[in-house]
Amino acid sequence: MHTICIYKGIFQYFLALKKPFKKDHDSMYVFCYSIFYYLCQQKLLTSHCMKKIIVTSMLLFSAVILSAQECSNFFYAKHNKGMQYHSFDRKNKFVGSDETLVTYLQKTAKGYEATVVSKQYDKKNELIHQSEHVVICSENMVYIDLKSIMDQSVLEAYQSMEITMTTDNVIMPTSLKVGETLPDATINIIVSSDGLKIVDMTYTIKNRVVESKESLTTAAGSFETYKITYEILVHTISMGIPINRTLTATEWWCLSTGIIRTETFNARGRLLGYRILQKVL
């Protein structure tokens, strides 16, 4: 009987509010408080029982708050948010630019799902490639399709041919710590013409390590970043001939913005080029 009265009282309280809760944890707070208030009014609480209810309510409330904070650092958690990058060769010569823009954002039970449009421009600011992909943040992990961040210019020579891609997601936690090792990722690209396989390329990103925390300033502003290093293994079979290449890269990652700067080096450690955040759109 008391249980029925409790839920009836809570239901009546919700109706009396006549407005939706602005945050998920608001409803849990009202739920816990309503039960506690009703039991106090009915003098049903002993001192021992009161302690148990207070502790339980605090645990429930804390759990909901933590759930609401999941993906709070997700850098695409805003509609129409975007970034513009400029790319340079090893001699600091401008070679092109690219930009990303969130065109649709959906809140999910475990985070966010953002539809992002990416555009790549040459040094004359002429559009050379455009694509759309989905970036997901779920339970404090960000999942980025690897093909969305690769340099599409490597495929320009094969535009008239059939291109098939199989990719993993690049996984990035929404919180990082120095010394942490991040998961590998692979993309496989097959280029065919009239059913004949011309090129088979596999890019593998491995040995991703969070090296340090650094402050970094660009034209877009100043950012607190994590310096991440990794290897890029490129295995290509062209007309039956295998070619292997190893590159290394350093990336500066800001939890609330994403990539701030990326530098790529050859196997001998010589800088090949870099990409830097120019503007937050």
For residue 71, which of 110, 115, 105, 33 has the smallest C-alpha distance?
110
Average pLDDT, the chain: 79
Chain centroid to CA 183: 14
Span 174-227, pLDDT tens digits:
889 999 999 999 999 888 888 888 889 899 999 999 999 999 999 999 999 999
Query: In angstroms, how far is CA 20 from the centroid of its own chain?
Result: 29
Q: Give pLDDT, residue 17.
A: 44
pLDDT-derived band at 75 (thresholds 50, 70, 90) equals: confident
252, 274, 158, 160: CA torsion to nearest 10: 90
In whole angstroms, give the CA distance from residue 92 to residue 274: 8
Residue 107 has pLDDT above 50, yes or no: yes
With CA atoms as reference, report the closest residue to 83 among 248, 212, 230, 221. Answer: 221
Strand partners, 218: 221
Identify the residue with better confidence: 238 or 46. 238
